[in-house]
Amino acid sequence: MKVGVIGAGTMGNGIAQVFAQHDHEVVLCDQSGEALERAKQTMENSLKRIYGKQGKTDQDIADTLAKISFTLDIETLSDREFVVEAVAEKMEVKLEVFRKLDAICPDEALLATNTSGLSVTEIAASTGRPDKVVGTHFFNPPPIMKLVEVVTGEETSEETVKAVREICGSIGKETIQTVDSPLFIVNRILVPMVNEAMFVYQEGLASKEDIDKAMKLGTSQPIGPLALADLIGLDTLLFVCETLLEETGDSKYRVPQILRKKVRAGHLGRKTGRGFYEYEPAKEKQAS
């Protein structure tokens, strides 16, 4: 299938890679040449790890990468049958991209957004084909994580959902289907759990290590909620909680004071080397 991916950042390069791994022909577009260069390098490193474990060769890596072309020009997506958008999480940026895609792509092309929480209905409404627009919420890193949440907007047709679930199946993903709503399913359940762990910590009920140990060993999660918060980024979590609270007015999404304090102090988790845990190279393993 002729697949397009727009946005070559954290998610876009992984999504392009997984399509190429499953023999789709991919065009990866970004507005930044540097992002495209980084994407190429990230994919090569990722393929080395994944193919290395499968006994595949450098030639296999080269063959997979050869299925992807890189471009700065969105017009190159004009012959694509399926396009996944993975640009920044800002509504105005996504709307502009979808208007352009709608104008240049074939009428029958399906357009998907990888948004984590913006309205699929609103994105779809910026096109003349809202029935062919859908959310495909991949998880990070896309080549490894099995799940895609398929999110329907108000106008998304059943044929689109069926086709998109099949496309996801063709790249080895499992899908679930949900209607457009704040944070969809996984993060809607995950975020309050992570928040609750922060409340337990700020109430002084247990040490951070014991809270994480409790959830890892008591519920078979691979990483404790406070270490997970550091991994996601505490600023991202704060933004998500505030958005959820605003959208739903539900106090279960209230923000723990400790989260605000850490963000104000610039302790954002792994990316700044300090959040609930400290991330000197030697200590990193211990926290997760």
Q: Which is nearer to ligand NAI, 7 or 256 (CB)?
A: 7
Q: Is residue 131 within 8 Å of residue 107, measured between CB atoms? A: no
State the number of binding residues for ligand NAI (CB under 6 A): 23
Q: Choose the catalytic residue: 114, 116, 126, 195.
A: 116
Name, in order, each residue with C-beta under 8 angstroms of 29's C-beta and a sequence gap of 6 or more: 4, 5, 6, 7, 8, 70, 71, 72, 73, 74, 76, 77
Cβ nearer to ligand NAI, comparing 92 with 158: 92
Angle formed at CA 144 by CA 142 and CA 145, multiple of 5 degrees: 70
Side-by-side strand order, sheet with 2-6: 68-71, 25-29, 2-6, 82-85, 110-113, 133-138, 147-152, 174-179
Closest approach of ligand NAI to the CB of residue 201, in Å: 23
From the list 114, 119, 187, 195, the catalytic residue is: 187
Q: Are 84 and 3 in contact (CB under 8 A)?
A: yes
Q: Mark whether 116 is an active-site residue.
A: yes
Give the per-residue contact string, 80-119, with ligand NAI (x = CB under 6 A; - = no): ------xxxx---x---x----------------xxx---
Element (H, E) at 178: strand 174-179
Q: Which member of 4, 30, 136, 151 binds ligand NAI (CB under 6 A)?
A: 30
Closer CB to ligand NAI, 243 or 248, in the complex:
243
CB of 35 to ligand NAI, least distance (A): 3
Is residue 241 classed exposed, middle or buried when 0-12, 13-18 and 19+ CB atoms within 10 A define those classes?
Answer: buried
Subset of 183-202 contacting ligand NAI (CB under 6 A): none
Which three-class secondary structure state does DSSP give residue 148? strand
Q: Which stretch binds ligand NAI (CB under 6 A): 27-35, 219-227, 245-253, 280-288?
A: 27-35
Please say whether the beta carbons of 284 and 263 come within 8 A.
no
Task: Answer yes or no: 137 catalytic.
Answer: yes
Cβ(115)–Cβ(137) below 8 Å = yes
Phi and psi for 247 in degrees, rounded to 5?
-70, -40
In the chain the first and final C-alpha atoms are separated, in Å, by: 39
Report if residue 168 touches ligand NAI, rule: CB under 6 A.
no
SS3 content of the chain, % helix, strand, coil (to 5): 55, 15, 30
Residue nearest to ligand NAI (CB): 9
149 carries an active-site annotation? yes
Identify the residue among 9, 81, 131, 178 touching ligand NAI (CB under 6 A).
9
Single out the residue of 3, 8, 16, 61 in contact with ligand NAI (rule: CB under 6 A): 8
Cα 183 from Cα 120, distance rounded (Å): 11
- Of 6 and 215, nearer to ligand NAI (C-beta) is 6
Interacting span for ligand NAI (CB under 6 A) from 29-37, 43-51, 157-165, 196-204: 29-37
User: Side-chain half-sphere of 215: how many Cα atoms within 13 Å?
Assistant: 22
Residue numbers belonging to the annotated binding site for NAD(+): 7-12, 30, 89, 94, 116, 140, 271
Which residues of the chain form contacts with ligand NAI (CB under 6 A)? 6-12, 29-32, 35, 86-89, 93, 97, 114-116, 138, 140
Q: Which residues carry out catalysis?
A: 116, 137, 149, 187
